[in-house]
Amino acid sequence: MIAGNTSPAATDAAPPLAPAPPRNVIMSQPAVDPASRMLAHLLKMADGYLAQGALWHAMEMYLKIVKQHDETPEARLACERLLWIAERHETNGKGHLARSIYEQLL
């Protein structure tokens, strides 16, 4: 073996796992399941689009969350945001856009 080289088995090994927290440490919050984390991230992205004025992108993401994950807290928040957008459309004389949102939420 040449100095500085490692055997193939050593380079193919997976990195060591992070150690688990000690048993006597109390976690401040329960672990969040991956699906909830993903939905929260999508909701945050949609909120970013809304804040930037990209309504169509925001609405598309909100509608996906509502339709595909309807029993989640994130879906309820997405629905509230869609209702807010629809109400703004009505206020701005764009009732047809508001109606489209309402019909998709039924």
Instruction: Give the per-residue pLDDT at 4.
Output: 53
Q: Locate 99 and state its tokens.
A: 């109606």
State the pTM of this model: 0.68
- Encode pLDDT of 1-47 as tens digits: 455 555 444 445 555 555 555 555 554 555 568 888 899 999 999 99
What's the angle, vertex CA 28, arms to CA 70 and CA 36, rounded to 5?
A: 20
> With 0-12 CB in 10 A as exposed, 13-18 as middle and 19+ as buried, what is 14?
exposed
Domains located in the chain, CATH noted? 33-105 (1.25.40)
Residue whose C-alpha is closest to residue 63's, from 76, 82, 89, 88: 82
Q: Residue 84 in contact with residue 73, Cβ under 8 Å?
A: no
